[in-house]
Amino acid sequence: MRRIVSPLLAASSLLLCLGAAGATRPHYGGRLRVEMQAAPNSLDPTAPERYAPYAVARARIAELTFDRLVRLDANAQPQPQLATAWQHDAGYKRWEFQLRPGVKLHDGSPLTPQIVAEALAAANFAWRVRATADTVIVESDSPLPGLLADLATTRYSIVKRDGDRLIGSGPFRLAQWQPGQRAALTASEDYWGGRPYLDGVEIQMGRSLRDQQIDLQTGRADVVEVAPDQVRRSAQAGLRVAQSQPVDLVALVFTPGAPAADDARRREALARSLDRAAIATVLLQRQGEPAASLLPQWMSGYAFLFPAAPDLARARQLRAELPAALPLTLAFDSADPLGQAIAERIALDAREAGLTVRAFGEMMSARPGNADVRLVRVRLGSPDPGAALAEAAAALDLAPPARGAGLADPQQLYESERALLEDFRVVPLFHLPEACALSPRVHDWKEEPAGDWRLEDVWVEGAP
């Protein structure tokens, strides 16, 4: 970001820079070339997106082009963004936000309280949102103690809608958008936080992980994705790999109404037959954490209370109680080779308990088929445990936990999560980090614990 320094300090820094052999310092210019496997067709932050890779890709672009009222820091504490101050009543039913003055949208128009109010109202129809001269007021019939954490998520990005065009106020403006193919972003000269060092960001979508690695190694890309089972190999090959905390949940989700999945004993038997640690060691190459909870340990502090070790004796006992040996069909994402390997290993573990599981691939980016159970991946897009639990529940079709003040208390958060999992409709398996490999020309890359990309301070050496 642009920094203001005194002429004397600038001159001294220049002399030191020139006197140090090979030393470099941040400078403006250049474009960052990013590649990703997902190919989302929409950037609308309020549009539902159940396919996790597309949701992550859309969130990446939204983080660069749209602002929110607040953001969460590494400790999940709210920090000002478009809102500089806020207050609420004693019951958390009325919130008032003071807006940052002088913010310009990417079309050159000023950001007004009315634009902010319309964006929030579109994101949540249950709220009553209104604008005053320089504030926005959010009211609800039920308490909103977790509102700040919610407002820091992608869904509540502040956008101005001009027909199909989405206009933001973030550090980069969207210069070109080819759905499912390419996004070109240009630095915003009027960004309220200072112009980014980068002139722009080029994002190529729909690139396989193999093609991404080739482009990185041949100098055609600067930032590429790395699968969990390839992180160690990439680092051993000399690549610079950046990782988040474990923020992706891998889980089994049973289909409501499917005959083979309707008996809770069969669901529990499958859950207790799984050797998560062995899968994590062999297939995931020790990346991520075996898990029987929705939230990872670093976020909740209590994930260890959910037993993740296999219990074959109990699994076989449950299997013996079942009236029929119905096979379970298990669908995995056909675009994910690692998902296939995990699904096939699940089928082997289930066999040890006397269960028959037949794994097959399907296009999960399209409408899902009729499998009894699916291997899915969900991104926990907030470092706040209450917001992350609500997000996970929505993505997994679980009843949403009550967002009362108690969700700030670890004990009540734990009780809420345990209630969501007690019928084994969802069986958590792992929490995985998000990883990317960087070219040597990329400097000052900082990835937030929850996987957010903050590129305002990133700079690159040389062309392009």
* Tens-digit pLDDT profile for residues 217-268: 999 999 999 999 999 999 988 999 999 999 999 999 999 988 888 899 999 9
Examine the pLDDT at 156 and tell me if it is beyond 70: yes
Specify the CATH number of the domain 246-433. Answer: 3.10.105.10
Helix (H, G, I), strand (E, B) or coil at 281: helix
pLDDT at 138: 98
pLDDT at 345: 97
Question: Any residues with CB less than 8 A from the CB of 14 and at least 6 apart, and which?
Answer: none
Domain spanning 67-161: CATH 3.90.76.10? yes
pLDDT at 16: 36
CA 347: distance to chain centroid? Answer: 28
CA–CA distance, 155 with 73 (Å, rounded to integer): 18
Specify the residue for token string 């006992």: 317
The phi and psi torsions of 284 (rounded to 5 degrees) equal -95, 0
List, for residues 99-149, the tens digit of each pLDDT value.
999 999 999 999 999 999 999 999 999 999 999 999 999 999 999 999 999
Strands 459-460 and 70-72: unpaired
Tokens of 433: 């980090």
Q: Are 204 and 182 in contact (CB under 8 A)?
A: yes
* Region 163-185 average pLDDT: 95
Where do the domains of the chain lie? Answer: 67-161, 246-433
Examine the pLDDT at 394 and tell me if it is beyond 70: yes
Q: What is the pTM assigned to this prediction?
A: 0.89
Cis check for the bond before 464: say yes or no (omega within 30 of 0): yes
List, for residues 21-73, the tens digit of each pLDDT value.
344 789 999 999 999 999 999 999 988 888 888 888 999 999 999 999 999 98
pLDDT at 50: 80
The phi and psi torsions of 374 (rounded to 5 degrees) equal -125, 145
Residue type, position 345, single letter:
R
385 C-beta neighbours (distance < 10 Å), count: 26
Examine the pLDDT at 406 and tell me if it is beyond 60: no
Question: Any residues with CB less than 8 A from the CB of 357 and at least 6 apart, and which?
Answer: 270, 327, 328, 329, 330, 346, 347, 350, 351
pLDDT at 407: 54
* Region 434-462 average pLDDT: 90
Tokens of 402: 């009550």
* Region 309-317 average pLDDT: 97
CA–CA distance, 419 with 398 (Å, rounded to integer): 10
Examine the pLDDT at 5 and tell me if it is beyond 50: no
Fold agreement (67-161, 246-433): no
DSSP secondary structure letter of residue 338: H
List, for residues 320-377, the tens digit of each pLDDT value.
999 877 899 999 999 899 999 999 999 999 999 999 999 999 988 776 678 999 999 9
CA–CA distance, 169 with 111 (Å, rounded to integer): 8
Please, what is the Cα angle at 398 between 395 and 399, to 5 degrees?
Answer: 125
CA–CA distance, 157 with 136 (Å, rounded to integer): 15
